[in-house]
Structure 1
Amino acid sequence: MHPVLVSFGPFTLHTYGLFVASAFFAAIFLSLHGARKEGIDPDRMLDFAFYVTLAAILGARILFIIVEYPYFLADPIRIFKIWEGGLVFYGGFIGAVIVAILYMKRHDMPILTVGDIVAPALALGQAVGRIGCLSAGCCYGKPTLLPWGITFTDPRSLVSPDKLGIPLHPTQLYSSLGNLTLFFFLLFMSRRKKFSGQILLLYGICYPLLRSFIEIFRGDPRGSLFGGMLSTSQFISVIVFLIALTFYFKLRKGHQVSGLDK
């Protein structure tokens, strides 16, 4: 693919950085639009998005460093080169959720309503951001003989050197298309929402299923648990799925969850 989009002397624009930035802007724009429709102050929502975005980037980077610590031990300066690639979604998700809840509690924002606004935006952002992963060569798939396998040849990509020139599952595209489908599904359900938190929890149910399935085809080292039975992301997916499913049925039955919404 194309890890470097433009290079002029000392200036280098990495394709990954461009798409990740575009993903955040797309998600924030859609969230602001949703906030206006729900009667939430757009300025407050923008401030919220700023802190949540910072938490997401920091959390995503920290988890990537933990999973790939031998790589960073060999070259510690790369810890700070985020624009080259290397973010783990669930690390960002956990960081963002913690900061989002703290912020909304402090500023008396309706947590479930805001969650319903943000969920489709998050899916859209992931769909865009995964194109950056494809360009950088991170999150790559296992070798495949299928006709849609993609081959990385640029030595600057994040694909393991032994995988260069070999057709691989385009797991980045699987994720991008899956998240785009999830985005449209959540938009469709938003117009038929029965209770506050439904869209957020549908995301929490559907995304872990999508992610766990795609993990089967991933070929990059990303940590494993239980003797290799589950990847780190699959393990987190199980937890997120069970929590979301539990709250979905509670709220669908009309149970109130104290402090989550107005």
Structure 2
Amino acid sequence: MYPNLYYVFEDFFGVKIGFLRFINSFGFFVAIAFLVAAALLSKELRRKSEQGLFKPTERKLVVGGPATTTELVVNFLLGFLFGFKILALFLIGSDAVKDPQAYIFSGNGSLWLGLLAGGLFAWMKWRERKKQQLKTPEERVVRIWPHDRVGEITVIALIVGLLGAKLFDIFENWDDFLNHPSDYIFSGGGLTFYGGLICAAIAIVIYTRKNGFSVRHLADAIAPSLMIAYAIGRIGCQVAGDGDWGIYNTAYKVDANDKIVLATTSDFGDTVKAHSAYFFQHYGRLDSLPNRSFEKPSVLGFLPNWMFAYDYPHNVNKMGVPISGCNDMYCNRLAVPVFPTPFYETLMCTALFFVLWSFRKKLKLAGSLFCLYLILNGLERFFIEKIRVNNRLHFFGLHPTQAEVISLGLVIAGILIWVILSQKNRAIPKTV
């Protein structure tokens, strides 16, 4: 596993670049996911605009004026943070900062570098505006198309989505949150996808209505982007080993050479006994640990074992048992290999992206492509939950996971909305 890019460059290229410790692998792939999603969304919005499905809005702008106080203050604050934290690394020494997360949330930094960078950023904004300044500022009317707003939509989805993902994770793990609130609030992990999806969707709908363009056509345009963004994000989960893995696959074990090999019927029980302290601390019991035995079919014998069971060595959550001979921050691996569900979701959601992409021009009813997304996404997540580790809810004698409840709701919502939209479309009289 590669908790951050430092380990990627060390493993692949044999070089140690201390600064790369601050670029989390999961965050790196999330950034790529947003960039890819934004590019595809822009492409779709342009296509729909050319079809006449979107109209531009007009905005009055004052050009040629001096830099505003707000612009100068915002640029100073951005520069101050950059100097106080990032530039200070070159003084502290990035190799000396072994725990990047602790450094980011600490008060450590360089005040004078922060003030210097803040002043420089503010001066650059003032100078930029000065060059563009007119003798008499002019008011101009600018036409703005939906694809011109992709940047704003992406930022809204990023900020609100991350907040929603964090909140839903806290709700899902409420008891543990009450015992360790700082571990949840200041952690870069612990993000629930559906929390981010729901909160970001609400924020984007509000933004869309405020700016006067079709919610249904925007939803259709964004559906393929959401699916491929999720697939790329799951690469980050797999690479970092952030805990979004499956239940134990007892058909395999980790041998003395740290290789994934076939296990005997007694290996799982023996491993649990050998590491009873860890299993009891993590699960509160030693019986009924979540597991299933599945050996790869003979027709797939050419595939590596890790695709069916993986122990996530050096995972970013530091979960599992110690790795012998390791002296780094991330020196744990899972005692029993698990189903690598992030890998499965990357494969499935990539395939579902191509399904949505192929249907984007065939489904003529506005909103139907997004309904298809809800159905496919819900089905994919509902079934992956069957072999995935998650806390379970308790009501009416049932014990589903939070994701199972939401994913089932998405499937039902997708079907109902599609039916309602179809009925409304039939009720509209056709003109000859």
Q: TM-score range by the shorter chain?
A: 0.7 to 0.9
Q: Which amino acid aligns with 1:224?
A: L
Alpha carbons 2:5, 2:21 under 8 Å: kept: no
Structure 2 residue aligned with 1:50: 155
What's the offset of the Cα at 1:213?
A: 0.1
Of all paired residues, the percent bearing the same amino acid is 27
| Secondary structure of the corresponding residue to residue 255 of structure 1 | helix
Q: Counterparts of 1:57 and 1:151 in 2: how far apart (Å)?
A: 28
What's the offset of the Cα at 1:228?
A: 5.2
Aligned: 1:224 with 2:396: no
Structure 2 residue aligned with 1:90: 194
The Cα offsets for residues 121-151 of structure 1, whole Å up to 9 and x where unpaired, read as 0000000000111123321101112342111
Larger radius of gyration: 2
Aligned: 1:200 with 2:200: no
What's the offset of the Cα at 1:178?
A: 1.3
Which of 31, 35, 56 is the matching residue for 1:25? Answer: 35
| More divergent stretch after superposition (52-61 vs 179-188) | 52-61
Alpha carbons 1:15, 1:136 under 8 Å: kept: no
Q: Counterparts of 2:369 and 2:237 in 1: how far apart (Å)?
A: 26
Structure 1 residue aligned with 2:18: 8
Q: Counterparts of 1:183 and 1:80 in 2: how far apart (Å)?
A: 32
Q: Counterparts of 2:22 and 2:165 in 1: how far apart (Å)?
A: 23
| Secondary structure of the corresponding residue to residue 35 of structure 1 | helix
Q: Counterparts of 1:253 and 1:202 in 2: how far apart (Å)?
A: 17
Which of 48, 60, 70 is the matching residue for 2:165? Answer: 60
The Cα offsets for residues 50-93 of structure 1, whole Å up to 9 and x where unpaired, read as 2122111110111112223444444433334453x221111011
Go from structure 1 to structure 2 and tell me whether the alpha carbon gap of 1:79 and 1:256 turns closer, same or farther (over 3 Å shift): farther
The Cα offsets for residues 131-188 of structure 1, whole Å up to 9 and x where unpaired, read as 1111233211011123421112226436466971321111111111111111000001
What's the offset of the Cα at 1:251?
A: 2.0
What's the offset of the Cα at 1:101?
A: 1.3
Q: Which amino acid aligns with 1:149?
A: A
Q: Which amino acid aligns with 1:138?
A: G
Go from structure 1 to structure 2 and tell me whether the alpha carbon gap of 1:182 and 1:116 turns closer, same or farther (over 3 Å shift): same
Structure 2 residue aligned with 1:260: none
What's the offset of the Cα at 1:10?
A: 9.4
Alpha-carbon RMSD across the aligned residues, in angstroms, is 2.5
Equivalences, count: 256
Go from structure 1 to structure 2 and tell me whether the alpha carbon gap of 1:4 and 1:47 turns closer, same or farther (over 3 Å shift): closer
Higher-RCO chain (CA-CA 8 Å, sequence separation at least 6):
1
Unpaired segments ≥5 residues, structure 1 = 258-262
Q: Counterparts of 2:19 and 2:386 in 1: how far apart (Å)?
A: 41
| Secondary structure of the corresponding residue to residue 22 of structure 2 | strand
Go from structure 1 to structure 2 and tell me whether the alpha carbon gap of 1:11 and 1:229 turns closer, same or farther (over 3 Å shift): closer
Equivalent residues in 2 for 1:147-162, closer than 5 Å: 147=305, 148-154=308-314, 156-157=316-317, 159=319
Alpha carbons 2:34, 2:154 under 8 Å: kept: no
Alpha carbons 2:314, 2:333 under 8 Å: kept: no
Alpha carbons 1:225, 1:232 under 8 Å: kept: no
| More divergent stretch after superposition (45-54 vs 158-167) | 158-167
Aligned: 1:101 with 2:205: yes
Go from structure 1 to structure 2 and tell me whether the alpha carbon gap of 1:88 and 1:70 turns closer, same or farther (over 3 Å shift): same
Structure 1 residue aligned with 2:421: 251
Q: Which amino acid aligns with 1:4?
A: N
Q: Counterparts of 2:181 and 2:38 in 1: how far apart (Å)?
A: 32
Go from structure 1 to structure 2 and tell me whether the alpha carbon gap of 1:211 and 1:192 turns closer, same or farther (over 3 Å shift): same
| Secondary structure of the corresponding residue to residue 2 of structure 2 | coil
The Cα offsets for residues 217-255 of structure 1, whole Å up to 9 and x where unpaired, read as 012x33423355311111111222111101112223443
The Cα offsets for residues 21-60 of structure 1, whole Å up to 9 and x where unpaired, read as 1111111111111111111522223222221221111101
Q: Counterparts of 1:158 and 1:210 in 2: how far apart (Å)?
A: 28
TM-score, structure 2 normalization: 0.55
| Secondary structure of the corresponding residue to residue 23 of structure 2 | strand
What's the offset of the Cα at 1:190?
A: 0.6
Aligned: 1:188 with 2:358: yes
What's the offset of the Cα at 1:112?
A: 0.6
Q: Which amino acid aligns with 1:28?
A: A
Structure 2 residue aligned with 1:131: 235
Aligned: 1:209 with 2:369: no
